[in-house]
Amino acid sequence: MNNCELRINRVATLECARPLRHALGAFLSALEVDSVLCEDVLTAVGEALANVLEHAYKGRESGIVELYAREGDKKKLFVTVRDHGEYIVRDENPGRGFGLPIVRAIAQSVRVNSTGGTHVQMTFDTTKSSAVLQLTLAEMMRQS
Amino acid sequence: MLTQSSINIIKVAGELDIARREEVRLALQVDGPGQGILVDFVEVTYTDSTIIAEVLRFYKDAHAAGRRIAILIESPRFERILQYAGLSGVFPIFKDRAQALSYLMQEGA
């Protein structure tokens, strides 16, 4: 299944996150990604999308949000969410700011590039529910 | 003594994301002091952090008003996102409705 790709561009409205998640979910199903990891990938990507929809084009004409996904070698899954809007350094709304920590907890690696908009590049290990395992290990270490 | 019929129930269903944040914000309101509140998320299939923020705000409002809340879920997905957000154990979460109601009817609820 290597070299499968998903590429979708949509106008960044609040309502576009759901169909983008569904499209990615269908792509992950086609790749036979573990169901728990599939949910977690959709959660992480959903956070990146929510960040775009909330911040990237705030106070200006709405632009495009781009979703790109592909399966790489060694069972890696690469997903990029990109906008051409304003990069937000941190969320100043009380009670917010959970998005990136959630992405970082789930993805094997996360790179944020703020040149010409924001690119959030996420890499996932599709061989196991790695995020769940990492959390379990982290909790065990905290408790010991 | 509180009875089951005196407990407020707020039910939300479907995919809860940024597009539904205002709807969730309006649903999760604490109308002053009173009885316990059961938040029924059994039919929720997706939650993002904008909704988690609303649940957190609601939990704080309820606590300030002296009201106990219980969140009823079915899928472990909601608990996982709380873990990822570093909010594990913050909310009283139940998978069994009877246990959630029992919690809300406890002394001091």
CATH homologous superfamily of A10-89+98-143 equals Histidine kinase-like ATPase, C-terminal domain (3.30.565.10)
Residue spans of the domains in chain A: they are 10-89+98-143
Which of the two residues, B32 and A76, has the higher pLDDT score?
A: A76
Q: Which fold has domain B13-104?
A: Transcription Regulator spoIIAA (3.30.750)
List residues bridging with A122 in a β-sheet: A79, A110
Nearest to A122 by CA among A58, A65, A67, A51: A67
* Nearest residue in B to A14, CA atom: B19
Cβ atoms within 10 Å of A9's Cβ, excluding its own: 13
DSSP state of B99: H
Q: Which two tokens stand for residue B54?
A: 């609303």
pLDDT: which is higher, A103 or A1? A103
- Structure confidence by residue, pLDDT tens digits, B71-91: 999 999 999 999 999 999 999
CB contact under 8 A, A132 and B80: yes
Spatial CA neighbour of B28 closest among B20, A27, A111: B20
3-class DSSP assignment, residue A106: helix
Give pLDDT tens digits for A58-104: 888 889 999 999 998 878 999 999 999 977 655 445 556 889 999 99
The ipTM is 0.88
- Residue A61: count of CB within 10 angstroms of its CB: 6
* B15 contact A CB<8A: yes
As a whole number, the mean pLDDT across chain B is 92
The confidence score (pLDDT) of residue A51 equals 92
- Asked if B80 lies within 8 A of A21 by C-beta distance, the reply is no
pLDDT digits (tens, 9 = 90+) for B44-65: 999 999 999 999 999 999 999 9
Q: How far is A47 from chain B (nearest CA, A)?
A: 6
Interface test with A, best of B16, B18, B88 (most A CBs within 10 A): B18
Rounded Cα–Cα distance for residues B80 and A66 (Å): 26
A36-54: pLDDT as tens digits: 999 999 999 999 999 999 9
Q: Are A22 and A87 contacting, i.e. CB atoms less than 8 angstroms apart?
A: no
Residue with tokens 């977690």: A40
Query: What is the reported pLDDT for B1?
Result: 46
- Among the partner-chain residues A14, A50, A101, the one whose CB lies closest to the CB of B84 is A101
CB neighbour list of residue A103: distance below 8 Å, 6 or more residues apart: A44, A47, A48, A110, A120, A122
pLDDT bucket at B5, cuts 50 / 70 / 90: low
Q: Which of A16, A43, A51, A134 to mutate to test the interface with B (most CBs of B within 10 A)?
A: A43
Q: Residue ranges per domain, chain B?
A: 13-104
C-alpha separations of A74 from A3, A64, A78, B9 in Å: 12, 31, 12, 48
Long-range contacts of A111-118 (CB under 8 A, 24+ apart): A114/A87, A116/A84, A117/A56, A117/A82, A117/A83, A117/A84, A117/A85, A117/A87, A118/A51, A118/A52, A118/A56, A118/A82, A118/A83, A118/A85, A118/A87, A118/A88
Q: How many CA atoms lie within 13 A of A67 on its CB side?
A: 27
Q: Do A47 and B19 touch (CB under 8 A)?
A: no
Do residue A21 and residue B46 have CB atoms under 8 angstroms apart? yes
Helix (H, G, I), strand (E, B) or coil at A99: helix
